[in-house]
Amino acid sequence: MITYDDATHTYLNDGKKWPSVTQVMQCVGLSDYSHIPEHVLRYAAERGTIVHAMTEMIDDNDLDMDSVMEELRGYADAYTKFLDDHTCYIPYSEEMVYSKKLRYCGRLDRVIRFADKRNYIVDLKCTSSQLPAHRVQLAAYKHAWEEMGHKIDGAKSLYLRGDGTYNIVDHSNITSSEMLTFVSALNVWWWKERNDLNKG
């Protein structure tokens, strides 16, 4: 049984630690933040957590905009504008995914059914920077989601900006090379785990 320990931010399969998609990518430098000061990373992480919570509340029509800090209001406005601009239905939100075959876990932000009646994994980003690693991340989520028995037609990144604007990028042309890149990184993570080299 796959569980998540919120206190340690750890995924467990029958009590044994499995890596998250994010941990795998950080392990080999696909997501490299070593050049960014610690206080900046900490603020970005806190901002991302708050923005994700706000978007969930917006989905539930339960966000009081008057309660939102001024410096974060633009992200809420950007997500609201995205929903206003697109006819969509959200069947899954903040859903845990896992691959028992490859032994990794993760949490996808949204599965959204757009007006074309197709289902897309949508990853929310609180940045305007489009990085190649985002495609690798989505490939890992897509593989796990399909292994769990769900049909998915594509993947998108939704970039929310602090000025109230957004950009949505379609990654439905993700190829096997992105997933092979992730699997290579995953093999490195497990090698480091066996040799007690993983940090944290």
The reported pLDDT for the residue numbered 36 is 57
Q: What is the pLDDT of residues 61-79, one digit of tens each?
A: 898 888 888 889 999 999 9
DSSP line for 36-81: S-HHHHHHHHHHHHHHHHHHHHHHTT---GGGS-HHHHHHHHHHHH
pTM over 0.85? The answer is: yes
The mean-pLDDT minimum among 16-20, 34-38, 95-99, 139-143 falls in 34-38
- Overall average pLDDT of the 17-35 stretch: 84
Q: In what order do the strands lie in the sheet with 166-170?
A: 89-99, 104-113, 119-125, 154-160, 166-170
pLDDT at 192 over 60: yes
3-class state of residue 97 by DSSP? strand
Phi, psi of 172, rounded to the nearest 5 degrees = -70, -10
More confident residue, 199 or 137: 137
- Overall average pLDDT of the 6-12 stretch: 86
- Overall average pLDDT of the 33-60 stretch: 76
The reported pLDDT for the residue numbered 67 is 85
Domains along the sequence of the chain with CATH:
38-177 (3.40.1350.10)
Q: How many degrees, rounded to 5, is the angle at CA 172 between CA 171 and CA 177?
A: 80
The reported pLDDT for the residue numbered 80 is 96
Please state, rounded to an integer, the average pLDDT across all residues of the chain: 90
Q: How far is CA 80 from CA 59, 60, 161, 189, in A?
A: 9, 12, 12, 38
Closest to 19 in 3D by CA, of 178, 142, 198? 198
The reported pLDDT for the residue numbered 9 is 81
The reported pLDDT for the residue numbered 87 is 92
Q: What is the pLDDT of residues 85-132, one digit of tens each?
A: 999 999 999 999 999 999 999 999 999 999 999 999 999 999 878 889
| Confidence band of 48 (pLDDT split at 50, 70, 90) | confident
Q: Which residue in the block uniquely carries the two structure tokens 């032994």?
A: 103
Q: What is the pLDDT of residues 123-176, one digit of tens each?
A: 999 987 888 999 999 999 999 999 999 999 999 999 999 999 999 999 988 889
